Amino acid sequence: MDNIKVSRMAISDLNEIKDVLLLDFDDFWSVSILETELINPNSKYIMAKINNKIVGFAGIWKAVDDVHITNIVTAKKFRRQNIGSVLLTNLIQMAKEEKGITSITLEVNSTNIPAQRLYEKFGFKVVGLRKKYYNNTEDAIIMTREL
């Protein structure tokens, strides 16, 4: 899809999606966590729009020499249409533009195959495992890509 427009996401953009986060996006975060993230000075969020409607969003968090991907999600009805790839391409570019950053890292649920495939496609490699990271049951896979 070539009509995907990416821009910075602000707290005011949350109004459009806050009531449909669970239904349309299947997002694992509550509105309040997302609110906190959107005003966190160490975080940067972007959104993807099609026909002026938010169809995905993603964020990074800057540490000392590493950028951490905090979230990346595409609206359910728009999955497999390249939106996740467009968002991830933008996040990688944002990480490259940060001073002193050499790598980009994330945690992904070991059961989340679509996300793992997406990250692999963009050159992320598995570097570790956090046992029972999610709800004290599911493991998190740690993946990193050098910039």
Ligand X SMILES: CC(C)(COP(=O)(O)OP(=O)(O)OC[C@H]1O[C@@H](n2cnc3c(N)ncnc32)[C@H](O)[C@@H]1OP(=O)(O)O)[C@@H](O)C(=O)NCCC(=O)NCCS
Residue facing ligand X at closest CB distance:
84
* Cβ density class 87-112: b for 16+ within 10 Å, e for less: bbebbbebbeeeeebeebbbbbbbeb
Sign of the dihedral through C-alpha 5, 10, 12, 14: positive
Confirm or reject binding of residue 9 to ligand X (CB under 6 A). Answer: no
Residue from 17, 67, 84, 141 in contact with ligand X (CB under 6 A): 84
Nearer to ligand X, 100 or 105 (CB): 105
Nearer to ligand X, 28 or 42 (CB): 28
Confirm or reject binding of residue 113 to ligand X (CB under 6 A). Answer: yes
Confirm or reject binding of residue 104 to ligand X (CB under 6 A). Answer: no
Confirm or reject binding of residue 141 to ligand X (CB under 6 A). Answer: no
Confirm or reject binding of residue 8 to ligand X (CB under 6 A). Answer: no
Q: Which residues bind ligand X (CB under 6 A)?
A: 26, 72-74, 79-85, 106, 108, 112-115, 117-118, 121
